């Protein structure tokens, strides 16, 4: 596999992470251990804790070291996700700024809701490792916003799972063969025969977030 292939969350870990994020956004507080167990039919609390420890180790969630009693009587470690709170994540939108000829400053009092910006609810983010998409202005360290879906059109940029590894590439499915094409002229495409390897689409790229 290319050196920029991202090994990150398993499909189950991704589902649990999305459940926690949506729960926090909708309720303003994190789910209890039993809420997660009930949602995913995990009988043992230890089974839930294994997933939470993996999410924490990979940097997707933070967990308070002090046990807290929630308002339903259960005890669970407080779970937080950076940038996520009740109602999602938004920033003050103060107006427009010129990138060419200067424009008159117009005061604005609004907020930019990231979920609305990308036009979908079923979103998640991944941090890019490597330079295979550099010619599409996606650099090492950028965050890509992905819309979760299992199908893609030829030419779309997708997150694909090949066996147990994920990668961000342009997707092509022709003549029963999957081609995952980098946007970097120095790199070769990944050719996958579905009869020999397990390959699936985990989502389609809808945005890029970069910290300057």
Buried b (16+ CB within 10 A) or exposed e, 23-60: bbbeeebbbbbbbbbeeeebeeeeebbebbebbeeeeb
CA–CA distance, 142 with 131 (Å, rounded to integer): 10
Q: Would residue 132 show up in a list of annotated catalytic residues for this protein?
A: yes
DSSP annotation of 5? -
Q: Which candidate in 90, 169, 170, 174 is catalytic?
A: 169
Residue pair 200/160 in contact (Cβ under 8 Å)? The answer is yes
CA–CA distance, 111 with 106 (Å, rounded to integer): 15
The values of phi and psi at residue 65, to 5°, are -75, -15
Q: 211: number of CA atoms within 13 Å, CB side?
A: 5
Q: Which candidate in 3, 132, 174, 200 is catalytic?
A: 132
The CA dihedral of 22, 23, 27, 32, to the nearest 10 degrees, is -160
The DSSP result for 147-193, as a single string, is E--S---TT-EEEEEETTEEEEEEEEEETTEEEEE-S-TTSPPEEE-
Catalytic annotation, residues: 132, 169
């Amino acid at each position: 596999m290319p050196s920029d292939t991202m090994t990150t969350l398993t499909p189950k870990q991704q589902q649990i992470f999305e459940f926690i994020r949506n729960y926090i956004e909708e309720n303003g507080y994190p789910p209890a251990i039993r809420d997660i167990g009930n949602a995913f039919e995990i009988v043992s609390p230890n089974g839930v804790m294994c997933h939470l420890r993996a999410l924490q180790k990979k940097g997707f969630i933070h967990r308070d070291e002090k046990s807290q009693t929630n308002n339903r009587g259960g005890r669970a470690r407080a779970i937080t996700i950076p940038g996520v709170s009740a109602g999602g994540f938004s920033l003050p939108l103060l107006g427009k700024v010129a990138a060419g000829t200067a424009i008159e400053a117009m005061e604005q009092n609004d907020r930019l809701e990231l979920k609305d910006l990308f036009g979908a609810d079923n979103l998640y983010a991944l941090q890019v490792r490597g330079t295979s998409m550099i010619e599409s202005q996606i650099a090492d360290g950028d965050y890509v916003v992905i819309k979760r879906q299992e199908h893609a059109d030829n030419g779309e940029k997708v997150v694909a799972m090949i066996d147990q590894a994920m990668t961000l590439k342009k997707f092509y499915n022709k003549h029963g063969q999957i081609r995952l094409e980098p946007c970097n002229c120095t790199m070769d495409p990944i050719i996958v025969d579905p009869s020999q390897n397990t390959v699936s689409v985990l989502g389609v790229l809808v945005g890029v977030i970069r910290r300057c």
